[in-house]
Structure 1
């Protein structure tokens, strides 16, 4: 049997990868529009732009998809193999006991006998993934052509300025994305959702076919289906029950008729998280408690609302990223991200059975050993030496000063501030995208909420606060974008500060005469707590 939670999370890395893939392609198209906004002034110029941009875009998108195909095929193969052997070997624990107790006449396990079933499952999955890559390439080319045509028509009309043209075309691109995938059922999914369904379905169905073969070889007639709260209503009717497979037995129902096994909408069908396993009367006891149908329905509906909220969060993050790529102001999109985060948080707090799924909210993922693993400039030894050398000089100041480095360790900005802060202009903050920003804290304290949200709002790769004892480091990761609105965070930070301060004052009364020491310890405790809670990358290096 494959546990429903295992099947739920089996494709999370690939899902993140394909979300990023689509976003990167859309960003590339947006950049093309921005670069050519002044060139769509005549038919001749337009023809040159079309020829050049389609060629460049084709080449770039092809490279994106070639890598995506390799990564996805490799991971899908691993997932299908792991799931298949996991399910059979789990069943074999039941079969071994049945054999020892004389319920079956023989028991053997030949791992190689399942190879052809698994290979066939991988081939079918590979075909689906290859087709998706081909369709994506065609759709992306068509989308770029549509955007250029739209921009040209608006330019020819003479009624719009270039900035308005870019804003209009890119806003539509960000909203529509790379077209939705239409299933026969009429439902719509984005690329990341299609991959999730395709690979999860292939893994579950291939594992089920391996189980079927094993059960046929060992003459197993009775099976039990898995169960989980929040199952789709049609599956809730048969989950967690016992059925006969081949020979009618007692008052049990037929497995195939009752569950729809082998059909797209049945057990182990499209995107199903249920599976099944051997059951022997006299040995086995039902593994799942009966789930109340009404309670299941309520949770299912709540989870559907949560999925919808998560889709809206990712949708607005995509819009934000695409607009930024075109050099447009993403204020509205950022506000919408916060709004949908708030809605989702309120929904989750309304029912203890709901759990926040950070993976479905992420704007970029951390894909195992492949693309999407965050690169940090200061992991490079030479860059780190340059930054630490600069920090040594900063610690000599009794006022705050900052140095901004690019990813090669080159200084792109130096600025002095007051005793408590360094203020930056909008132009200076714009320079900090993907940069390393270090500054000194003369009182040896850790980050303030302002430091954290400077990193978030300006896409800084790493913010550092250097002290006489060492340096606090805050790095951008996928969770940093899941932080609450700044006002909410500041209130939480202050509340925790008061709480920890009172604890330490009671524990160390003498610290009343050493406010600086108390402040350093309390602030660091607050930051450690919030880092664990929100999952951001925070540490201290000496």
Structure 2
């Protein structure tokens, strides 16, 4: 699926959708718990793998030729929302050397090592779900682009708000599955409860996006799949609670 995205055969959304449907058809469980005790849905897992692997492929393509030519300095892209590991160095020149160094260039300044910012770790620079890219940059030859780089504290705060958006999106998907289960059971009280839950979560998401112009509504993250196994699990849970 990643190969189809990187070669332009499919959009990321289409690739994720197709992968999830194949897994569901093969009877893969609706979710699992990782070593840290976090519950993952197969939709979230597919999106994470697709995003992380695609960006890793892009960056390897960008940096492999530079490595062969002995270029180890790169311009790191910048975004309004960033994880703490990336916020201080995004938009600046970084190096793949183990240690940073002074460039002696007034515009470039100190060149930080990505290893000092968690490179190679899941939550570090270019880790899981990181959307940053590296572009080869030769100090003294290339020029820095004239762009506004968010202050690290603001970028981190924006990243936390973006994480809240992802939480709302997961909550919306969960409410939709529960509503589908309640509808199949024909329980009017449960239907009303989960319709209200879905409406409240949608409202919360709209308020969050309206108050933060760097956030954008992505309806593909709110859609659910015809996952009969997951709906059946919710139905059994609902029936069990009703009997009690």
* TM-score, normalised with respect to structure 2: 0.71
1:274 paired to 2:132 = yes
For structure 1, the residue ranges without an aligned partner over 5 or more in a row are 1-5, 23-60, 66-135, 140-177, 366-542
Residue equivalent to 1:181:
33
User: CA offset at residue 319 of structure 1?
Assistant: 0.9
* Equivalent residue number for residue 192 of structure 1: 43
Number of the residue aligned with 1:315? 174
Question: Per residue, is there more helix in 1 or in 2?
Answer: 1
Matched, 1:336 2:188: no
Superposition pairs of residues 64-463 of structure 1, within 5 angstroms? 64-65=25-26, 137=28, 139=29, 178-182=30-34, 184-246=35-97, 250-251=102-103, 252-287=110-145, 288-329=147-188, 330-364=191-225
d(CA) in 2 for partners of 1:19, 1:326: 25
CA contact (8 A) 2:63 2:136 kept: no
Give distance in 2, aligned partners of 1:20 and 1:179: 14
Aligned-residue CA RMSD (Å):
2.9
CA deviations 1:505-524 (Å, max 9, x no partner) are xxxxxxxxxxxxxxxxxxxx
Aligned-partner SS, 1:224: strand
Aligned residues: 207
1:123-175 alpha-carbon deviations (Å, 9 max, x no partner):
xxxxxxxxxxxxx63x4xxxxxxxxxxxxxxxxxxxxxxxxxxxxxxxxxxxx
Unaligned 5+ segments in structure 2 are 1-5, 104-109, 227-244
1:181/1:191 contact within 8 Å kept: no
- Could you tell me which residue of structure 1 aligns to residue 239 of structure 2? none
C-alpha deviation, 1:191, in angstroms: 0.7
TM norm structure 1: 0.35
1:249 CA displacement: 5.3
The structure, 1 or 2, with the larger RCO (C-alpha pairs under 8 Å, 6+ apart) is 2
1: CA distance, partners of 2:201 / 2:18: 22
Change (3 A) 1:256 1:345: closer
Distance in 1 of aligned mates of 2:180 and 2:117: 43
Question: Displacement of 1:303 after TM fit?
Answer: 1.6
Q: Match of 1:290, SS?
A: coil
Deviation at 1:236, TM superposition (A): 1.0
> Are 2:100 and 2:113, in contact at CA under 8 Å, matched by a contact in 1?
no
CA distance in 2, matches of 1:283, 1:289: 21
Structure whose alpha-carbon radius of gyration is higher: 1
How many Å separate the matches in 2 of 1:201 and 1:209? Answer: 12
